[in-house]
Amino acid sequence: MKFEVLVTKEQLEAKTAELGKRITEDYKGKELVLVGVLKGGFIFLADLARKIDMEVMIDFISVSSYGNSTQSSGVVKILKDIDMDITGKHVLIVEDLIDTGLTLQYLKELFNTKGCASVKLAAIMDKPDRRKVDLKVDYVGIEIPDEFVVGYGLDYAGKYRNLPEVYVIRET
Ligand code: IMP
Ligand code: MG
List the pLDDT tens digit at each of the 172 positions of the chain.
899 999 999 999 999 999 999 999 999 999 999 999 999 999 999 999 999 999 999 999 999 876 555 566 667 889 999 999 999 999 999 999 999 999 999 999 999 999 999 999 999 999 999 999 999 999 999 999 999 999 999 999 999 999 999 999 988 8
Angle at 113 between CA 108 and CA 119, to 5 degrees: 40
Residue 118 inside a domain? The answer is yes
Backbone angles phi, psi at 40, to 5 degrees: -55, -30
> Which residue of 64, 97, 152 sits with most ligand 1 atoms within 8 Å of its CB, as the best mutation to test the pocket?
97
Nearest atom (ligand 1) to Cα of 72? 3
Q: Number of structural domains, the chain?
A: 1
Residues in the chain: 172
Residue 166 placed within a domain: no
Q: Is residue 109 part of a domain?
A: yes
Confirm whether 151 is domain-assigned: no
What CATH number corresponds to the domain at position 51?
A: 3.40.50.2020
Residue 154 lies in a domain: no
Edge to edge, the sheet with strand 118-126 lists 76-80, 56-65, 32-38, 90-98, 118-126, 139-143
- Output the CA–CA distances (angstroms, integers) from residue 125 to 14, 98, 103, 112, 128, in the order listed: 13, 6, 14, 23, 10
Could you list the residue range(s) of the whole structural domain that residue 71 is in? 9-23+31-146
Distance, in Å, from the CA atom of 154 to the CA atom of 7, rounded to the nearest integer, reads: 12
Q: Is the CB of 105 under 6 A from ligand 1?
A: no
Q: Do the domain assignments include residue 113?
A: yes
40 is a domain residue: yes
Residue 80, domain member (yes or no): yes
